[in-house]
Amino acid sequence: MSASINGNNMVTMVVRIGMPPALIAGLAFSGRFEYPLNLRWGILIFVGEIALLLMGFKWHEIVNAFRQVGGRRMAAGASERSTYFWEAAARNALQLGVLGTLVGFVIQICSNTSGQAGFMFALGSALLSTVYGLILAAILSTPAVRSLWTIGAAQAAETVAPIDASPAGRESAGRWGHAFGHVVFLALILWILFSPAPAGPTMPLDWFVHWPAWLVVFGGALALGMMSGRTFKTNSLVLGFACAGLIGSLLGVVQALQGFSQASIAVVSEGITFMISSCFAALVGLLAIGLPLQDRSHNRRGMSLSRLVWYGFPVVTLLLIALATLMVMVPIKIENP
């Protein structure tokens, strides 16, 4: 038994030591060393991750999660909360990575490019954001997976009590932490909306904030949250933003396809704008409202459906970006009367 435990510890140590050099070697031998490195997406994911964790968790919960990674054994309730913390951190990294790819796509669409070659190169650079998010999600999910494997195992004799504060101090620190996280995330969104972009025929802000799409997404999410009642209000907001974002995106796809049938560039552009803005509004709504509220709640009913939204909606967003790219590159034949 002890030999098996020592073997597992040895494998874990090898993986921990070997993962960073493997990632660095992958970047170094990827053809062009400067291509896989993009400071904009690194800032977006790193700062956004910190903001989202502060928005969804109290300070003592964050400390307990890191203590658990350090090998400290927690009480059952604190251990489950720490496991959920790392799962939420991995989810946030994936969502932020896809958000960055969506932002990069919009910036490239709105700028003048040197033909298809320049457009595809910039789109590949935007996809790096998703790659960064996947790498960080894989790293952050490791503590959660390791903790789930040990659930049900016999507890050691020495169990460290989780860090906790008095109820009044805990609530006060939690409110300040949540507020600071919201301020940082708001600054990050404003940086995305108003950061300088290459000159082009349209402004990225017009694509990000298309008011009809935002009304569909936020109105649909609010309606679903109100209809679900108090019991599932946190989970219903997560589901509501995803469903409303999908509905708005499909409405944009329908409008763009009608534009192709009418050979109208203006109608196609309006449909793509509606689709992209719906995805952006849904991701912002999830990250700023739905997911933090779900993280603060200790009610884990309906988590299977929530996890489907966590990982399903980013995939749908990437597929819609691919569809929008195809629509942009397909020429529209305008027949002379």
The answer to whether the CB of 213 falls within 8 A of the CB of 278 is: yes
Domain count, the chain: 2
Q: What letter represents residue 4's amino acid? A: S
Contacts 24+ apart (CB under 8 A), 327-331: 327/256, 327/260, 327/268, 327/272, 328/109, 328/119, 328/272, 329/116, 329/119, 330/260
Instruction: Write down the pLDDT at residue 153.
Output: 46
Instruction: Write down the pLDDT at residue 110.
Output: 82
Residue 56 sits in the same domain as residue 159: yes
Phi, psi for residue 234 in degrees, rounded to 5: -70, -50
For 87, the domain range is 39-196
Asked if residue 252 belongs to a domain, the reply is yes
H/E segment holding residue 139: helix 115-149
Last residue of a domain, one of 171, 196, 221: 196
The pTM score is: 0.83
Positions in the chain short of pLDDT 70: 1-37, 71-78, 112-115, 117, 147-173, 197-201, 229-234, 332-337
Residue 298 sits in the same domain as residue 163: no
Q: How far is CA 191 from CA 24, 186, 195, 210, in A?
A: 29, 9, 5, 17
Instruction: Write down the pLDDT at residue 81.
Output: 85
Last residue of a domain, one of 196, 223, 257: 196
Residue 180 sits in the same domain as residue 214: no
Torsion-angle region of residue 274: left (phi > 0), alpha (psi -120 to 50) or beta?
A: alpha
Asked if residue 112 belongs to a domain, the reply is yes
Residue 286 sits in the same domain as residue 163: no
Instruction: Write down the pLDDT at residue 287.
Output: 95
Instruction: Write down the pLDDT at residue 255.
Output: 94
Residue 222 sits in the same domain as residue 273: yes
Residue 218 sits in the same domain as residue 171: no
CA proximity to 253, closest of 273, 220, 275: 275
Asked if residue 24 belongs to a domain, the reply is no
Residue 48 sits in the same domain as residue 191: yes
